[in-house]
Structure 1
Amino acid sequence: MTYARPDALVSTEWLADHLDAPDIRIVDGSFFLPAQKRDPKAEFVNQHIPGAVFFDIDEIADTDSPLPHMLPSAEKFSARVRKLGLGDGNKIVVYDTSPMTGACRVWWMFRAMGHKDVAILDGGLPKWMAEGRPVTDDPTPPRERHFTARLDNTLVRSIDDVKALIDSKREQIVDARAAGRFRGETPEPRAGLRSGHMPGAFNLPYNELLDPRTGTVLPADQLKARIAASGIDPSKKVTASCGSGVTACVVGLGLYLTGAPEAAIYDGSWTEWGGRADTAIVTGP
């Protein structure tokens, strides 16, 4: 069984064969939570796939928002990626150094900004390096290119959108956090947040869509089965949420690959919802 929309992924073999293709741009979208005490930009400088540029989701963001790495305006996104040498007509391949999380966020951001020719390196840098493929510490001098950003409002949801969706049940809310956090049994890693989940939400932990041995996305049949087991109706649109809008994008990728309606991402996610007093929260399964 093959993916319904395989264009969202490229293999390490494919990228190795296309490293020098003139229309390919490679992006390192690595991201870590503060508690992980890792610096993705420093790691990128130390080693990266030849030709790659670094995409900082905390800087290519709405830095005026009190919430972390919120989607920036189309104007800011366009200005930042243009300086990275990413432009109209490029096929953008995103990878990261953790299991697909930062790469999926960058993939979603490009799609939300209207650039659909973007794919994720399946297995990321760990798989690339495990296969003995080349890395370098040479910087990639970007040549500025024109990038046209047009926000696709069907792919992003605000807190008011989510409140309305809970009332109308027009879309399914899917929470990508671990089951303990979803049920309210495990404290949130960010201080000051209440525990639990949104009323009516389904739980689909993002890591359950990945092969723990390789960091690659599950094969198509297993991916479809795991999504179905969560209780989601694959014919109905999903709004995905998580801690801060990053791992929700892994769920978005999984749904995209299976041919389900393309998911929206609740950008503020639990950092916003769990940090406010005017939001409904339930605990338990």
Structure 2
Amino acid sequence: MSGTAVAAASAAGAGPFPTLVSPEWLMVNLGSVKLLDASWALPNAGRDVVAEHMAERIPTARFFDVERIADPESQLPHMLPSEAQFAAAADALGISGEDAVVVYDSAGLFSAPRAWWTWHVFGHPKVAVLDGGLPAWKAAGGEVDTSPVDQAALHAPAEALRNPPAATRYKACLDAAQVRSWQQVLDNVSSRAEQVADARPEARWRGEAPEPRPGLKLGHIPGSRSLPFASLLLDGRMKPREELAAAFEAAGVDLSQPLVCSCGTGTTACILALAAQQVQPGTQVAIYDGSWSEWGQLPGVPVATGSGGGGDGDS
């Protein structure tokens, strides 16, 4: 079991709700949590995560569609929806504000932290990520459900979001302090009031490898630090706390200071945010929601390349 995941002995109702839980913990507490499969894949990955969910899932899990439970008007990938839209999706998922929620994904630890952050940023107090996701669950001997999926229930959350009702049972309240816009990030390039950590592979941060989405500039936000999300994981699970702390330190990130996390689309940035909470619970972390899919196409914003943190590009 990962050194950061909460042990099975911790009951879902005992003490502060964890942010990361082990398969053993989930086996003990499966009946007292609402479980969400938040699997998502890059467009060039060749995967169909909906089909994967339909084929097998942890018992009782509903599908949390990261791509569609998002702002339907935005041209950017899976940007945060409005409070009303998210509340409508929560209602369709059958989740109340009092429920304990556990999210997982079929890759191990990839997109589930994005779902964790989304619930957290909308004010849900009890939400955790399953460390290692479906692979770790199966490796620990957990059962999987292969029965047919109700198609109406599968797509109901995203469909409800498109036309949210005037009143919802779930009450979402966006904490704007946990979200950064491109303008805020641009202002920070000059002020350096907040640290910025980039979760993309280092070659993409340097501008030496192509982006998976066409038409984007190559490089990084000036002043940002490279902290690839994969450096925080081991065999699809979060590394022990001491190793996470060392990774942040090696990247030049001080978790006692405000931190903004970025990546390609605002997904793996949330792995950094989740890891920061394992090292220093309650640390101040925000996500640049548009991330490089937005910054990389904006005209006139500075772009740095190579290992330098300054604005050595200005395209």
What TM-score comes out, normalization by structure 2 length? 0.85
1:116 Cα deviation after fit: 2.2
Instruction: Kindly report which structure 2 residues correspond to 1:1-285, keeping only aligned pairs within 5 A, or say none.
Output: 7-21=18-32, 24-138=33-147, 139=149, 146-211=169-234, 213=235, 215-259=236-280, 261-285=283-307
Q: Read off the aligned partner of 1:44 and give its amino acid letter.
A: H
1:147-188 per-residue CA deviation (whole Å, 9 max, x = no partner) reads 210000111111011011111111111111001000111111
Q: Read off the aligned partner of 2:201 and give its amino acid letter.
A: A
Distance 2:221 2:275 in 1: 21
1:132 Cα deviation after fit: 2.4
Distance 1:234 1:15 in 2: 29
Distance 1:184 1:99 in 2: 27
1:88-114 per-residue CA deviation (whole Å, 9 max, x = no partner) reads 110000000113121000000001101
SS in 2 for 1:94: strand
SS in 2 for 1:239: strand
CA RMSD, Structure 1 to Structure 2 (Å) = 2.0
1:81 to 1:96, Cα distance in 2 relative to 1, 3 A: same
CA contact (8 A) 1:182 1:197 kept: yes
1:104-147 per-residue CA deviation (whole Å, 9 max, x = no partner) reads 00000001101121000011001111222100123476999932
SS in 2 for 1:181: helix
SS in 2 for 1:30: coil
Distance 1:99 1:165 in 2: 33
The alignment of Structure 1 onto Structure 2 pairs a total of residues equal to 281
1:3 Cα deviation after fit: 8.0
1:37 Cα deviation after fit: 1.3
CA contact (8 A) 2:17 2:127 kept: no
1:23-46 per-residue CA deviation (whole Å, 9 max, x = no partner) reads x10000000011111111111011
CA contact (8 A) 1:252 1:262 kept: no
SS in 2 for 1:34: coil
Q: Read off the aligned partner of 2:250 and give its amino acid letter.
A: A
Distance 1:160 1:208 in 2: 29
Q: Read off the aligned partner of 2:285 and give its amino acid letter.
A: A
1:6 Cα deviation after fit: 8.0
1:2 Cα deviation after fit: 6.4
1:175-229 per-residue CA deviation (whole Å, 9 max, x = no partner) reads 1100100011111111100101111100100011111x2x110001111111111
Distance 1:6 1:185 in 2: 41
1:277 to 1:166, Cα distance in 2 relative to 1, 3 A: same
1:240 to 1:18, Cα distance in 2 relative to 1, 3 A: same
CA contact (8 A) 1:194 1:275 kept: yes
Distance 1:185 1:195 in 2: 7
Q: Read off the aligned partner of 2:40 and give its amino acid letter.
A: F
Structure 1 runs, 4 residues or longer, greater than 3 Å off: 1-6, 138-145
Once the two structures are overlaid, the 10-residue window that deviates more, 41-50 or 5-14, is 5-14
Distance 1:283 1:201 in 2: 11
1:72-99 per-residue CA deviation (whole Å, 9 max, x = no partner) reads 0010000011101111110000000113
1:276 Cα deviation after fit: 1.6
1:146 to 1:31, Cα distance in 2 relative to 1, 3 A: same
Structure 1 gaps of 5+ residues are: none
In structure 1, the residue matched to 2:310 is: none
Q: Read off the aligned partner of 1:199 and give its amino acid letter.
A: P
Distance 2:200 2:223 in 1: 15
1:210 to 1:187, Cα distance in 2 relative to 1, 3 A: same
Structure 2 gaps of 5+ residues are: 7-15, 158-167, 308-315
